[in-house]
Structure 1
C-alpha cells in the first residue's frame, strides 16, 4: 500500500509517497481503507519537533494523520460492533496519511447521517476537542457567552456551530474581513477583527463589563485542555459522547463540516504549506480515491513550519 514517509533533506522536511507493508491488526482492531484524512496543526507540530530532534538515521519518523474516514476491510477476532464494509470515521494514533490504517475498534464511530464519506474525516478530532474543552472541562451551559479566537479554521468553524446548537452566545476574533463574514454566517453574534480592534475592550463593552473580573468575583477556575494528550480509553469515551450529542445535530443539518480545500495523497506537503498560510475557512481535507484504490504517482516536496495559537473564553 501507499503511505506518506517523512525524511529530511538539508533543513527541509520531505514528505514522500512510498510503498509500505499492509498493517496487521490486533484482536481488538479494525483495518480501514482510508477515504480521507484531514490536515491538523498537530501533524505540522510533529514535523517541527522531528526537525528539532533528529540527529541520526535512527531517529523515529513522525507518524502523520490523526483522524480518518473510510470503509472497514478487516475486523479483529474480539470486535463485535463492526463488520467488513461498514463506513466509519475515527481517531487514529498516527498513520492516517496512508491507504490503510489499523485502529482500535473503540476509536471509530459511524459516519454521521447525510455526510459524504470523505467529508466525515474532518469531524472526529475537532468534535472531540470541542466536547472535551467546552462541555467537559468548562461545563458550558445555555445562554453563556463564549469567545473563540482565530475562529475561522477547522476547529473554530465547527465550534461556532456546536455552541450555537447548544444555545450559547458566540463571540469570535478573526484576522480578515472575509473570515469575519464567514464566522458571522455560521452564527457568531459578535465578530471582532483582532488586527484592527482591541478584542478585550470590545468584549468588555459588549458584555457591559461582564469580563475577566467575574473570575475573581465568583471564585471561578480556568481550565485548559488538549484532547491529543488523552489516553485511547478517554478518546473512546469522548467519541461516544460525540456520537450521542453531536451526530444527531448533524443529521438534522444543524451542524455541518466545512471543507476549504481538498488535496490528494501525493499532495500532503502542499496541504501542509497551505495550512501554514492560515487563509482557510474551515478544514483542509486529504483524500484517497477509493474507486481506484490509488492516487497514483509519488512526490517529494519541501516545507517550512510556523506555529499559531487558538484559544477560547467562557463567561
Structure 2
C-alpha cells in the first residue's frame, strides 16, 4: 500500500477538496519504470481535473525503484523527472520509460519536479514552430516573465539565441526577469506598452509572443512584426477576446493556442524526445535552472492549489512527498533568492 492525495467532491455542493488515502501500489508494465516520488510540480491541470477519487499530478521527480522487463535505457537508483497523465500526488508512480528525463546530481531533486512539464510546453508552443537555425535573428516577447512557465521560457529563449523582451505587471519584477536573462523588461499594464515594444525593437516589432491567457490578445497582435506569431499557453478561463481579424490578415500573422495535457501519449513521448535533444543539454550544463517559488508538503496540497488560483506566484510551486502535517511552507524571498519558512 502507499499514501496518496485524492480529490473528494462534496455530495451536497459543487466544492472539492483533497484528502489523504491509502491505495495499492500501481502495477508496473514491461515498458514502464517505478519511481519513488520525491516531489511533484503543481500545474493548472491539477485544479481543472475535478473527478471524485482522482489523484492529481502531471509531473514528478524521484528515484527509479524498479524497471520493466523491456526497459534497457534506465537503471534502478537513477534520478529522474517525468511527465504523468495524473497520479503524481502519491508515494510511487509507474511511468512509461520514454516519459522520463535524467536529473543531474547537482540539481535539487525536488526543484526538478517542476522542470519537465513546463519544458515540454515551451518546446511544443514555441520552438516546434520555429526554424531553429534562424533564432539568433529573432525577437520574442514573453508575457508574465516571472510566471510558472515564463521564468523558464526566458532562460530557454536566451539559450536558443533569441533576443528576449520580458513583460510583467510591475516594475518591481524587472530585476528577476533580468536575472533569468531577459534583454529588455517592460510593464504591460502601461498604456504605452505597444509603443514601448516598437521603440525597444527599432520599430520592427517582435517575431514571437508567448502569453499565458488571451485577455490582452489585441495588444499582442499590435506588437508583432509581419508574419509574427502569438502563442497562448493555458487560457485559464480567458476564452473570449476581441481581436481585429483584418489586421491579423494584413500582417500575415498567426495565433496558436496550445495545451499539452490534452495531447495523446505518442505526441507527449515525441515532445519529451525533442526536449531531451534540444533543451535538456541546457539543464545538464546548468545554463537553465529551475525557477521555483515555493514548496509545500503534499499533505498541504490544498494550500498550494489555492495559492495557484491566486495567480501571483513567481516560478513553480512544488509539493514535496511528505505526508506529515506542516505548519508553513517554503517561499522564495524575492530579494535574496533563498527559501524561508512562512
TM-score where L is the length of structure 2: 0.76
CA distance in 2, matches of 1:213, 1:259: 33
Corresponding residue for residue 5 of structure 2:
4
The higher-RCO structure (CA 8 Å, 6+ apart) is 1
Q: What does 1:130-209 correspond to in 2, within 5 Å?
A: 130-139=122-131, 141-209=135-203
Say whether residues 1:81 and 2:58 are aligned partners.
no
Measured after TM superposition, the shift of residue 113 of structure 1 is: 5.2
| Distance in 2 of aligned mates of 1:200 and 1:226 | 27
2:34 paired residue among 23, 31, 34: 31
Could you tell me which runs of 5 or more consecutive residues in structure 1 were left unpaired when the two chains were aligned: 51-59, 290-294, 299-315
Contact 1:145 1:170 in 2 (8 A): yes
CA distance in 1, matches of 2:309, 2:252: 38
Give CA deviations for 1:9-29 in whole Å, capped at 9, x if unaligned.
Answer: 334211111111111111111
1:241 lines up with 2:253 in the alignment: no
SS at match of 2:16: strand
The CA RMSD over aligned residues, in Å, is: 2.2
- Relative to structure 1, the CA distance from residue 198 to residue 20 in structure 2 (aligned partners, 3 Å threshold; closer, same or farther) is farther
Q: Equivalent of 2:256, from 223, 237, 241?
A: 223
CA distance in 2, matches of 1:273, 1:163: 30
* Partner residue, 1:119: 111
Find the counterpart in structure 2 of residue 296 from structure 1.
324
Matched residues in 2 for 1:40 and 1:139: separation? 29
Give the deviation of 1:277 after TM superposition.
Answer: 2.0
In the alignment, structure 2 segments of 5+ residues that lack a partner are 206-223, 228-248, 327-342
Compared CA separation, residues 151 and 46, structure 1 to 2 (3 A): farther
Report deviation, 1:196: 3.2
Please list, as runs of the form range in 1=range in 2, the aligned pairs for 1:278-289 lying within 5 A after superposition: 278-289=311-322
Runs of 4+ in 1 over 6 A off after TM superposition: none
Deviation at 1:177, TM superposition (A): 3.0
Q: In 2, are the aligned partners of 1:182 and 1:281 still within 8 Å (CA)?
A: no
2:100 maps to which of 99, 108, 125: 108
Work out the number of aligned pairs and report it.
283
Contact persistence 1:66–1:93 (CA under 8 A): yes
Q: Deviations over 1:73-126 (max 9, x none)?
A: 122221111222222111011000111111111101211452122111111111
Secondary structure at the residue paired with 1:158? helix
Higher strand share: 2
